[in-house]
Structure 1
Amino acid sequence: MSEKKFHVNLAVLATGMMAFSGVLIETAMNVTFPTLMETFNISTSQVQWVTTIYLLMISIVVPLSSYLIKNISRRKLFTVSSLLFLVGVVVDAFAGGFIMLLVGRVLQGIATGIALPLMFNIILTKVPMEKRGMMIGIGNLTTSIAPAMGPTYGGVLTTTLDWTYIYKLLIPVLIVSTLVGLYAIPEEEISVSDSINAKAVLYLSVMFTGLLMFFSYLEQPLGWVALVVGLISAWLFYKTNKQKTLLNLVVFKNAWFTIYLMSFLVYQILLLGVSFVLPNFIQIVQGVPASNAGMMMFPGALVGALFAPVSGKILDKLGFKKPIGVGILFAILGWLMLIMVIQTGNIALIILSHVTFMIGVGLSYSNVMTVGLSSIKENLQDDGNAVFSTLQQFMGAISTSFVAIVVGLFQSGKSDFIQGTSTGSKVALISLFVLLLISSFFVIKTFKDKQNL
Structure 2
Amino acid sequence: MVGAIVATGLMSFCGVMVETAMNITFPTLMREFRIGTSTVQWMTTLYLLVVAVMVPLSATLKRRFKMRNLFLVAISLFIAGVIIDGLAPAFWVLLLGRGIQGLGTGIALPLMFNIILERVPASKRGMMMGVGTMITGVAPALGPTFGGLVVGAMSWRFIFAFLLPVLIVALGLGVSCIEQKSVPVAAQIDQLSVVLIVVTFCGLIFGISNWGAQPFISLPVAGALAVGVLALIWFTHRCLTISVPIINLRLFRNPAFVEALLAFACVQIGSLSLSFLLPNYIQLVNHSSALIAGLVVLPGAAVGAVVGPLSGRWYDVAGARAPLRTSAVISLLGTVGLWLLGNQLVNLAILFLYTLFMFGRGVGFGNIMTVGLNQLPTTDYADGNAIFNTVQQFTAALGISMAAAIVAAGQAHSTSQVVGTINGSVHSFAVLALLTIIELVVLWHVTRKNISPANA
TM-score computed with the length of structure 1 as normaliser: 0.91
Aligned pairs for 1:41-440 (under 5 A) are: 41-122=34-115, 138-182=131-175, 191-218=184-211, 219-220=214-215, 221=218, 222-242=220-240, 243=242, 244-440=244-440
Conserved? CA contact 2:321–2:450, under 8 Å: no
SS of the residue 2:155 aligns to: coil
Q: Which amino acid aligns with 2:186?
A: S
Distance in 1 between residues matched to 2:147 and 2:49, nearest whole Å: 21
Whole-angstrom distance in 2 between the partners of 1:118 and 1:341: 41
What is the number of residues matched between the two proteins? Answer: 446
- CA gap of 1:364–1:137, structure 2 versus 1, over 3 A, is closer
Q: Gaps spanning 5+ residues in structure 2: where? A: none
Q: Do the aligned partners of residues 387 and 283 (structure 1) sit closer, same or farther apart at CA in structure 2, a change above 3 Å counting? A: same
Q: More deviation in 282-291 or 229-238?
A: 229-238
- Cα deviation code 1:368-426 (max 9, x no counterpart): 22222233444433322221111111000011001001001111211111111111111
Q: Which moved more, 1:284-293 or 1:165-174?
A: 165-174
Secondary structure at 1:96 match in 2 = coil
Aligned residue type for 1:194: A
Structure-2 separation of matches of 1:137 and 1:256: 20
- Quick one: which amino acid aligns to residue 308 of structure 2? A
Q: Which amino acid in 2 is paired with 1:279?
A: P
Q: Does the Cα contact within 8 Å between 2:86 and 2:158 map onto a contact in 1?
A: yes
- Cα deviation for residue 439 of structure 1 reads 3.0
Encode CA deviations 1:80-120: one digit per residue, 9 max, x unaligned.
21221111101111111110000000011111111222334
Cα gap change, 1:120/1:387 in structure 2, threshold over 3 Å: closer, same or farther?
Answer: closer
One-letter code aligned to 1:142? I
Q: Distance in 1 between matches of 2:181 and 2:320?
A: 41
- Does the 8 A contact of 1:152 with 1:298 survive in 2? yes
Identity of aligned residues (%): 39
Match of 2:341, SS state, is: helix
What is the aligned partner in structure 2 of residue 5 from structure 1?
Answer: none
Residues 7-60 of structure 1: CA deviation (Å, up to 9, x unaligned): x66554443332221121121111111111111111101111011011111111
Q: For 1:370 and 1:72, how far apart are their aligned partners in 2? A: 26
Partner amino acid, structure 1, of 2:227: V
Q: Which amino acid aligns with 1:110?
A: L
> How far apart in 2 are the matches of 1:47 and 1:182?
36
Question: In structure 1, the residue corresponding to 2:424 is in which secondary structure?
Answer: helix
> By how many angstroms is 1:204 displaced?
1.3
Counterpart CA distance in 2 for 1:348 and 1:61 is 39
1:302 Cα deviation from its structure 2 partner: 1.1
Q: 1:39 aligns with which of 29, 32, 38?
A: 32
Unpaired stretches in structure 1, ≥5 consecutive residues: 1-7
Q: CA RMSD in A?
A: 2.6
Amino acid at match of 2:381: Q
Distance 1:260 1:126, change over 3 A: closer
Deviation at 1:189, TM superposition (A): 11
